[in-house]
Chains A and B, each alone.
Chain A
């Protein structure tokens, strides 16, 4: 049994450089507080973790089903405001408000899905754009309940210390990313969602003709995407101790797209790489505040011009080579496939 596990580990993780890098990354993530406990660094990483959940949930919803969502901030904002109101007016603690907020975000996702099911392509994108902005108008029009421009302030802290905050965000991030990665894994024998979502993206009519209830799977995509974006929103509200209009902002929806596409769409890890590359970069650029957004945008443009599929996908294609016969990934220096021995050239 143990030997079997070790063997699986060798074959499925160590032999594939991309997964090896992911493993090292997550190990480093959990060991980091041993190296540095500086509050500012931890703060940046906590935000990065929260936005990883947000960006990956966008990738899950938009990349994998092809339903490009311009209003992903809706889920983030709905969950943040729900958590904030429950905490402020009823006095629930973060461990309760964040899941409830996420479930309300699922409700928002299903609501958003109703028109979305009838629409396709750019129509869908532009309609989803409307929802967070409609809600934003409502939030600003009723400042008594929602705090208007200033938002709901003075929420309970996520936990007592920064280190605990960090571990909470890291653990939640790892679990969420793992679940979404598993759900989208087209080769998984356990869950069929991955391959079905791929099928819907490639050709919805053909998928329906093969007996797949595409509506059910689109609903599922909206619900799962909404749930994890909601978790991110709740974490954000309790960590910042404020839920303001910025959580529904158009720019936040666009940020999710920027992070994900920069890293590589339809890949889950692309979103992780995108956030971990761009978010600290954005913080680092605070040393030159007036040129910050300009440099950020310029870097995004230049990198995408040369790696239009995203930086993570570009690197993966350099270090991994799929076997033409059995489709298994191999390290780039191998000349023959490690499983079937076919030539890789």
Chain B
């Protein structure tokens, strides 16, 4: 009777020959993961891809020839770790940030120009509607103005009180707190209008429209007292930046909602993922724009009390943003 007796299986020899390499790769990966890739020497950095590819081929061989389950499990985990290291992000934080400002952000904003236009038109339309409604019937004012935002500015207030709000220099040390609060509030709104775009754009439209209606109602109130021009200075000194940021946040939401609703030739999943990646840098940038808006609102507006200076700053910021986003960049498009 033939006997099955083989003291050294091929799979055992296979493992014995390569084990040292695997252990070395494992040690290097652990070092890179627990500390950072920059702690690796040049030799180690060059060794990882080579060791990774040999581990990968060992995995294929082990799957086909070895029945040691713990070995294939180990190689799968090792190859996966190696894969994420070798094909993971390589750029340093500085390069990433530089690249973001130089190319990623403006390119992403340019890519959303259609959505930005729609977003702008919705806001502008809502401002107009809000203005006409309140001018026609002041009763609309209370309906359009959220109670928190009114801050005592309504049709019962005297013209003098309304004027005072526009030129209040404020309690100087509370300005910082105000700026911080406004920024945090607006940034949350911008993130919502992006995130909610997922629900087929509907919440994004609502957020933008509400924002516009409020603004329109405010203009109607001040316009009825002949303070429209002054209110413009008060709003636009920071509002150009803030409204632009909210419009861009809305545009990002529209892109996602639209692609989820009408995915085109690909699958809904792929379309949503592509739209999400295209729109995400815009929203990251929007948060930064709102930092600027918060600073302008908290400080510049309280410190600058002359209307034409306020308008000058508003115009300057508008030109800066438009120039930054829409002047073409050299280099390869992303």
Q: Say if A and B assemble together.
A: no
